[in-house]
Amino acid sequence: MKFFIDTANLDDIREANDLGILDGVTTNPSLMAKEGITGEQNILDHYMKICAIVDGPVSAEVISTDYEGIVREGEALASMHKNIVVKVPMILEGIKAIKHFSTKGIKTNCTLVFSAGQALLAAKAGATYISPFLGRLDDISFSGLDLIAQIKGVYNNYPFDTEILAASVRHPMHIIHCAEIGADVATCPLKAIKALANHPLTTSGLETFLADYAKGNN
């Protein structure tokens, strides 16, 4: 399973990249705003800073909701850097645009996916990735992981190239369950990625090893 980091925070992106396990980055307008990045040019400049840190797909979201606007914005974003993936909302105008992008060889991430039907439409249109938001489903008492499993089952029936990019990941168990289901990618906050490394027996075992080594070397 590929690991993307879900943030626009450059320090977090650098830290995850330095671990050597980072495959890409996802952003959205809310994550940009959280970092104080506002205004079109500042946002575009920020994508370039992210692309300079990580050599992998970087999702950049369009804000248009009409076909012509999505295409115009998406083509401009894709022309900025070879690693930019155009993030398109799961609306019918977005599906039309994804089809257009796929015929032009422009990579896309269909975002705000909350049902298997939406995932099927996006795959038919040729989306490179679809982003089911599992945490947001959990928040309203629907199982986000059940949705990922359902989409995986549907995609297994057909030769779609679309990758399942589990999004809205909130904690390490989400990541582990996504891997068990066979999601292609999980995009996660840095905290959830780092939490995968934690185990109390590792911590206590290492303390003991180091203490025993110190005894023999005093």
Interacting residues toward ligand E4P by CB under 6 A: 6, 26, 28, 111, 131, 133, 135-136, 167-168, 187
25 and 58 in contact (C-beta within 8 Å)?
yes
Distance of closest approach, residue 167 Cβ to ligand E4P, in angstroms: 4
Identify which of residues 136 and 152 has a Cβ nearer to ligand E4P in the complex: 136
Distance of closest approach, residue 200 Cβ to ligand E4P, in angstroms: 27
Distance of closest approach, residue 123 Cβ to ligand E4P, in angstroms: 17
Residue with tokens 């168990």: 173
Identify which of residues 125 and 167 has a Cβ nearer to ligand E4P in the complex: 167
Per DSSP, 27 falls in state -
Q: Considering the candidates 2, 87, 124, 215, report the single residue annotated as catalytic.
A: 87
87 is catalytic: yes
Of 61, 58, 56, 57, nearest to 28 by C-alpha is 61
20-35 burial, b for 16+ CB within 10 Å, e for fewer?
eebbbbbbbeebbeee
Identify which of residues 23 and 202 has a Cβ nearer to ligand E4P in the complex: 23
Identify which of residues 146 and 212 has a Cβ nearer to ligand E4P in the complex: 146
**Helices within the chain (DSSP H only):** 10-18, 29-34, 40-53, 67-80, 92-103, 116-125, 134-139, 144-156, 172-181, 190-195, 200-216
Task: Decide: residue 104, CB within 10 A, 0-12 exposed, 13-18 middle, 19+ buried.
Answer: exposed
Of 161, 189, 148, nearest to 26 by C-alpha is 189
Identify which of residues 58 and 116 has a Cβ nearer to ligand E4P in the complex: 58
Distance of closest approach, residue 83 Cβ to ligand E4P, in angstroms: 16
Contacts of 152 (CB under 8 A, 6+ apart): 164, 181, 182, 183
- The residues carrying an active-site annotation are 87
